[in-house]
Structure 1
């Protein structure tokens, strides 16, 4: 089991693009979410597919379990179980001050939204913030993928960053 500790931020400008060392396209679909905050999602990229089970949050972290699955199974889950309500994004890896920042540029239902996150070893870990980083949204329920998917499910149209920011937190 892995205990994931991550911090999530808005992006203030395009300065991160100069530091990109790799990128990959991801598709995420929510299979189930529970009142405790536990969730199960399916994800695929160009080369593999996997299921992720995330446990209840404890501070900034949560237990995480990942299981690789056949690509065909993931594609079927996205189309049959997730009912075409999924998140598409291109994840850019940007090393900075000893950590790797993941900058997600969303497409599809979240076209135009850009968020950055960094995984830490522990909750109290100090880190240097890049100049292109904007406001922190860690713990803001409006920026959880499940909330973004739910908002899309209610409106059935592209959701903008402005709409997310205007929603009650």
Structure 2
């Protein structure tokens, strides 16, 4: 249950043409403590409860546990979340042997587009598409839990 991922800004909308799937996501946080976050996510007709641990110093690796919950449970728990709901569309794009998840944010985070790629090891090589911009792995202000507190429009 360890997640290894790298995060990048996106410098073009070309990923939208390459996407094989797009999903609207609403999420909130029951807890955004620096040692752990507890997230509620509504993804179409499914809900998810996710607990994430503290990241390694380079931001590449952290513990993650996720459990599916019903749409109704997710909606009820979203009402208990800390202020600052995240609203985004996630696009999924195959690039080489990996799937990039590109999040286009709305509301107070409008204009921010971030891509993530999950890896099997911290040193795993991956193909970088031409729309991939600056790497922001480990930069805390790009974590969704922080975007809910300090949205992109306030930077």
Q: TM-score, normalised by structure 1?
A: 0.84
Distance (whole Å) between structure 2 residues aligned to residue 132 and residue 138 of structure 1 = 17
Relative contact order (C-alpha < 8 Å, sep 6+): which is higher? 2
Listed as ranges, the matches of 1:66-105 within 5 Å are 66-79=66-79, 81-82=80-81, 85-105=84-104
Residue-by-residue CA offset, 1:37-65 (whole Å, 9 max, x unaligned) = x1110001112101001112134111111
Matched with 1:48 is 46
Distance (whole Å) between structure 2 residues aligned to residue 141 and residue 132 of structure 1 = 22
Distance (whole Å) between structure 2 residues aligned to residue 48 and residue 17 of structure 1 = 23
* Superposition CA RMSD, Å: 1.5
Gaps of 5+ in 1: 153-158, 165-169
More helix by share: 1
Matched with 2:63 is 63
Q: Give the CA deviation at 1:105.
A: 0.8
Q: TM-score, normalised by structure 2?
A: 0.92
Local SS of the residue matching 1:14: coil
Matched with 1:113 is 112
Moved over 6 A (4+): none
Gaps of 5+ in 2: none
What number of residue pairs does the alignment pair up? 153
Matched with 2:34 is 35
Q: Give the CA deviation at 1:145.
A: 1.3
Q: Which has the larger radius of gyration?
A: 1
